[in-house]
Amino acid sequence: MPSPFGAKVSGARRERVLGSPRFVDGNFRNTVARTPVMKGNAWGTVGEYFFGGQRRKPPGPLPSVDPRAAWAHAPESGLRATWLGHSTVLVEIDGLHILTDPVWGERASPSRVAGPRRFQPVPVALDALPALDAVIVSHDHYDHLDYPTILALAGSDVPFYTSLGVGAHLESWGIAPERIVELDWWETATLTSRRAGAEVAITAGPSRHFSGRGLARNLTLWSSFAVRGPRHAFFFSGDTGLTPEYADIAARLGPFDLVMLEVGAFHPSWGEIHLGPENALEAHRLLGGGAFLPVHWGTFNLAIHAWDDPAETLVRLAPARGAQLVMPRLGAAVEPARVDGVEPWWRALDPAWAPRAAPDPAT
């Protein structure tokens, strides 16, 4: 069996890595001034992680919807997104089906018995997805590049679009090399779908993060991705901290009809490698707006904050920032152009929210 840790970058793939402007002195680097992964007192942060009192897991499975009935019909607007948990989203764009960072595994870990375990199953089985035109993998961390999911997809013919070097893992797990497109920042590949009779441009963009599946770090690249079709465009952040490069992305690749930004697993000590909800709103502004679908929350216990803190912070702050939030239940297929307001569905899991609910007009 192949290793869940993946494979080393070698051969022609290694030559491409060495030629990247982002690969300096043996490692990939962020272009924004480098900060450590950990800031301040690391032991204090570790203690907070293990002994802090935050509600890091919901009291029960999150409400979810089976999306298959919705997927049976094309979106009227031409753009529809189905959040399937964490950073996994099926985006239907101008007739194409594109899946981001697919994670169906039980744990965000190389182990089957240890590591962060998902709060609830994915709303739909992997083999129940509609025919895929592409899979985007932003970087090689376990909660984005999932070993069992890639093994399951190896038997299909779907192409993968990913960051430089990540193809070594994919190929070692059975993805044929001709199905792998690796991109450096600002590189674009054209995907033509004979099934949909259309094509989209897929461009890798900057992000502010790091990589690694074992002790070695930053030997593969991490990226955001912009996808532009004949009528619509969307942006997917992958994992990132706040970076002024988002303004460059807006200028070069925008505008976007749908912006998917990570909002969970953040902490002040973590060296600006994650956005969190407040910085996500600033990133959304730098990107020029668009319907904002938050990802990277509500699935794994990866951080030192309450599991619903990202959602509550966004609902509180977004109106004043002029951000149009799109926050569907797990599995709900939504067309951003048809979303009007947010229903805080996650509060149903917390009885403390009951007194705050609006009164029933029939009573």
Which whole number is the average pLDDT over 305-329?
Answer: 95
How far out from the chain centre does Cα 153 lie?
18
| Residue 103 forms part of a structural domain | yes
Residue with tokens 């070698």: 10
65-85 pLDDT tens trace: 999 999 999 999 999 999 999
| Residue 280 forms part of a structural domain | yes
First to last CA, the chain: 62
| Residue 48 forms part of a structural domain | no
How far out from the chain centre does Cα 345 lie?
21
As a whole number of angstroms, the distance between CA 213 and CA 140 comes to 7
Structural domain count, the chain: 1
pLDDT at 341 over 70: yes
164-221 pLDDT tens trace: 999 999 999 999 999 999 999 999 999 999 888 889 999 999 999 999 998 889 999 9
Q: Taking phi first (over 0 means left), then psi (-120 to 50 degrees means alpha), and beta for anything else, what does residue 300 get?
A: beta
> What are the strands of the beta sheet with 258-262, ordered from one edge?
188-193, 198-205, 224-228, 233-236, 258-262, 291-295
Query: How many other C-beta atoms lie within 10 A of the C-beta of residue 192?
Result: 11
Asked if 2 and 172 count as a contact pair (C-beta separation under 8 A), the reply is yes
- Domain that includes residue 64, residue range: 11-39+60-336
| Residue 119 forms part of a structural domain | yes
| Residue 347 forms part of a structural domain | no
Segments of 144-252 assigned E as strands: 160-163, 180-183, 188-193, 198-205, 224-228, 233-236
| Residue 22 forms part of a structural domain | yes
194: amino acid identity, one letter: R
Q: For position 304, what pLDDT does the model report? A: 84
Q: Estimate the crossing angle of helix 276-286 against helix 309-321, to 10 degrees.
A: 40
Which whole number is the average pLDDT over 20-46?
Answer: 71
| Residue 171 forms part of a structural domain | yes
Rounded alpha-carbon distances, angstroms, from residue 175 to 142, 225, 231, 250, 276: 17, 21, 31, 32, 33
Q: What token pair was written down for 59?
A: 């009291």
| Residue 53 forms part of a structural domain | no
Question: What's the CATH number where 94 sits?
Answer: 3.60.15.10
Q: For position 278, what pLDDT does the model report? A: 95
